[in-house]
Amino acid sequence: MNVGIIGGGTMGSGIAQVAATSGCKVKLYDTNQAALDKAKAALEKILNRLIEKERIDNAEKLRIQSNISYVDNLKDLADSNLTIEAIIENLDIKKKVFSELESYVANDCIIASNTSSLSMASIAASLKNPKRCVGIHFFNPAPLMKLVEVIPAIQTSYETLEKAIDTIASWKKTVAVAKDTPGFIVNRVARPFYGEALRIYEEGLADFGTIDTAMKEVGGFRMGPFELMDFIGNDVNYTVTETVFKEFYYDPRYKPSFTQKRFAEAGYLGRKSGIGYYEYDENGKRVIQSDSEESHNKELSTQIFERILVMLINEAADALFLNIASAEDIDNAMTKGVNYPKGLLAWADEKGIDWCVSKLDELYSEYHEDRYRCSPLLRKMNRENKTFF
């Protein structure tokens, strides 16, 4: 299969590696020659590291490298069976590239976008044949993260969707099909992990370290919310939150936080700027400060964990309620896209649906904010004594 990748930055170069490893002939296109040089050098480094770890041998490295060519003309993608666009997140620029691309490729070439936040319907509308357009959303780093969300636009044909799913599955990825709605699955369902943690901090209930410790030690998450926000970058994470909030017509459940906004404005972006919620040395390694006494308070840690968990469960249940994806895909998305220790719906079953409903009702009766409203699905399941799986 011939695969054309448009944009050779972080995502495009990772997707090229995935496709080439699976035996596709890949052309990686970028308008910036320096980006192509960087992508080529980065791949060489990654493959050498895999050789050192004895995951691949030299012949495999050469095979993968020989499957990728680096091109600086969009016309070079003319013989593609599938193209995946991973350029700047700007609708007008994407639309321009898509309509030019369509004039070069064959009629049956699938034209996909790796967009995180734009609507697939709006991107597909730039094509004469929008039925061939679909969202194929990888996670960073693409070669390591198992999950890929596949997003049909309302214009997408069934055939395009099936072909996209089959191709991505053949690249040994786990596919989760998501409705064309803001944040798709992962970037929607994960919002309370950050938002509720920030809210707990803003209320003065606990400091960053205590909240992170609670999520790691009680919840089994690999990183706490503040560590993760520092890792992603407070600018990037804040922008995603703000976009999701606006796109959901200002639903208070997705309200961004002033704390994070101020951190972004101050340039306290996290690891990449040396300071965020924590401090980092020049190699991006955390400068460890001693733990506060609070973080060893087991009861407080459990309260924090349960509050964030129940908000995540509520979001996952509501995504299912609104048919954003199937229960299996929602749980896979969170365990394979962002490494959650358990699927949220399976976690809800384990905790008990009645526990989830009463926890949410407790929060609602304390705050009287719409943010804490319980999903109608959880309430119905509780009445009917049902579980997700």
Binding residues vs ligand NAI (CB under 6 A):
6-12, 30-32, 35, 86-89, 93, 97, 114-116, 138, 140
Is 147 in a helix, a strand, or coil?
strand
Q: Nearest-CA neighbor of 208 among 176, 175, 230, 180? A: 230
Contact 198, 325 (CB under 8 A): no
Q: Provide, rounded to whole angstroms, the least separation between the CB of residue 106 and ligand NAI.
A: 20
Report the residue number whose CB is nearest to ligand NAI.
9
Q: Which is nearer to ligand NAI, 88 or 144 (CB)?
A: 88
The residue among 32 and 326 lying less far from ligand NAI, judged by its C-beta, is 32
CA-CA distances (angstroms) from residue 374 to 69, 178, 309, 310, 388?
Answer: 51, 22, 13, 10, 16
Measured CA to CA, the distance from residue 371 to residue 363 in angstroms comes to: 9
Give least dist CB 12 to ligand NAI, A: 6
Which residues are within 8 A (CB) of 359 and not within 5 positions of it... i.e. 6 or more apart?
306, 307, 310
Of 102, 137, 227, 257, which one is the catalytic site residue?
Answer: 137
* Widest pairwise Cα distance in the chain: 64
116 is catalytic: yes
Of the pair 89, 217, the CB lying nearest ligand NAI is at 89
Active site residue 149: yes
Residue with smaller CB distance to ligand NAI, 139 or 263: 139
In this structure, how many other beta carbons lie within 10 angstroms of the beta carbon of residue 288?
8
Q: Which of 67, 80, 114, 116 is catalytic?
A: 116
| Residue 227: active-site member | no
Toward ligand NAI, which CB reaches closer, 13 or 257?
Answer: 13
| Residue 279 DSSP one-character state | B
Query: Is there a contact between 37 and 72 (Cβ–Cβ < 8 Å)?
Result: no
Q: Shortest distance, CB of residue 30 to ligand NAI, whole angstroms?
A: 5
d(CA 333, CA 119): 19
Q: What ranges make up the beta strands (E) of 7-92?
A: 25-29, 68-71, 82-85
Catalytic residue among 102, 149, 227, 315: 149
- Annotated active-site positions, please? 116, 137, 149, 187
